[in-house]
Structure 1
C-alpha cells in the first residue's frame, strides 16, 4: 500500500484522568465525585470533577509564571492544531540544545513533540511519580525560540527538570511558546503528523487539561 492510499488514523496521546493517577507531588490529584445517582433514586447521574488545571495532559499559558501574562483562553487554536513533528530521544537523560541540534529539524518545524524514555515508563504502568524524568534544560528552551518553534510537547508532567528552577518555563512562556505537558507517546513512531490539541476554554486560567491526539492522513508529508 502506498503512502497515498493509507487511511486517516487517530492516535490518542492524552493521559486518562482518574483517581490515583500520577500527578505532581503537591497536586490535589483527580477526583470524580458523584453528585446525583440513579441507583440512589435520582433521575440522572451527575458528577463533579475536582482536579487542578495542571492534571494529566495540559497546556501552560504565560499566566502560569508571569503576573499579567495571558491565560489559556487567549491562546489561538491555530497554534494548537496543525502540522507537528514527533522526534525520539530514547537515550537522553536530559534534553539540551545539543540533543535538539542533533535532530536536524526541518526549518519549517513550528510544533515539536519529544518522545523520551518517559513514555516507556508510562507504557510499563508505573504508578508513582518519578522525579528523574527527562525534560528540557534552559539552553534547550532558548534553542527552540531561536529556531521559531511555537509549541513544544514533552512526555511527562513538566517541560523542565524536577530539580531545576522555573527558568525553562519562563524562557518559553515569555516568548509565547505554548507548553504541552503530560503526553504519552509510547508506541508513536517518529515523523510528521497533524496535532489536534483542544484544551478546556477556561477563562482566566494559567493552564488547562487538553484532549490531545495525532492524526495521520493520506498525505503525511507536512
Structure 2
C-alpha cells in the first residue's frame, strides 16, 4: 500500500476460522459467529472467540512467569518505533547466535526475523524458531524487541528457554508476523496490541512503513 512517499506493509496474519495455529491445535482456531444479520433484524453483528496467542500477537511476561506483567503495562512508544528486518531465509531449522552475530545488531534495536516461514505455506508444527543461544545473544546485546514470522518464537522447548531468556531481559516478543513482501532493511514499526486488562498477550495489527 502506498501513502504519499511512504510504502506501508501489513505484516499481520488474516484471522479466519481455518487459519494456521500453533501445532495445529483445534482449540486455538478462532470461532466467528454471526449473532444477527439482516434476515433476523436491522443490523449485522458478529462475535469472535479466540486464543490470545493465535495469529499476530504480543506476549507479556505473565505468559511464562507467575508474577509477570500484563498488556496494560506496555509502553506503546516501544511498539511505535524504528525497527530492522533481518533476512534469515537461509536458516534451515532454528536461528542461532551464529546466524545473528553477523547482522550488526545494536543495543536498543527492535529486530524482526524474516525466515523461510514467510516464503512457504505457513507451517503449524515444524517452523523455523529462535534457539536458546540466539535468544541469549539478543538479551546480551540488550535489544528492545524481537518479532518472528512463525506461530511461536520457540517450539518443543520444555523449559521455554527462548521465551524466558528474552522476557527476563525485558525484550518485547511479537509472534505470527508475515514478512514475505518485506526486504531486509530499516522500517518504522507500528504494532499496537488490544488493551485487554490483565491479559498475558493480545492480538496486534502490525504494519511497517518504508519512507
Structure 2 CA distance for partners of 1:143 and 1:154, relative to 1, 3 Å: same
User: What's 1:73 paired with?
Assistant: 72
**In 2: Cα distance, 1:110 partner to 1:103 partner:** 12
| TM-score, scaled to structure 2 | 0.92
**In 2: Cα distance, 1:58 partner to 1:18 partner:** 15
| TM-score, scaled to structure 1 | 0.88
The 5 Å alignment of 1:179-194 reads 179-194=173-188
Count of paired positions: 204
**In 2: Cα distance, 1:103 partner to 1:131 partner:** 27
The 5 Å alignment of 1:59-138 reads 59-93=58-92, 94-105=94-105, 107-122=106-121, 126=122, 129-138=123-132
User: What's 1:220 paired with?
Assistant: none
- Kept in 2, the 8 Å contact 1:31–1:50? The answer is yes
Offset of 1:213 from its aligned partner?
0.2
User: What's 2:42 paired with?
Assistant: 43
- Kept in 1, the 8 Å contact 2:107–2:144? The answer is no
* 1:53 aligns to 2:46 (yes or no): no
User: What's 2:31 paired with?
Assistant: 31
Structure 2 CA distance for partners of 1:186 and 1:81, relative to 1, 3 Å: same
Which range moved further: 164-173 or 57-66? 164-173
**In 2: Cα distance, 1:54 partner to 1:207 partner:** 7
- Kept in 2, the 8 Å contact 1:84–1:109? The answer is no
In structure 2, list runs of 5 or more residues that go unmatched: none
Aligned counterpart for 1:163 among listed residues 132, 152, 156? 156
**In 1: Cα distance, 2:50 partner to 2:140 partner:** 35
RMSD of Structure 2 on Structure 1 (CA): 1.4
Aligned counterpart for 2:203 among listed residues 195, 206, 209? 209
Aligned counterpart for 1:8 among listed residues 6, 18, 37? 6
Offset of 1:61 from its aligned partner?
0.3
Q: Give CA deviations for 1:51-82 in whole Å, capped at 9, x if unaligned.
A: 10011000100000011111011111111111
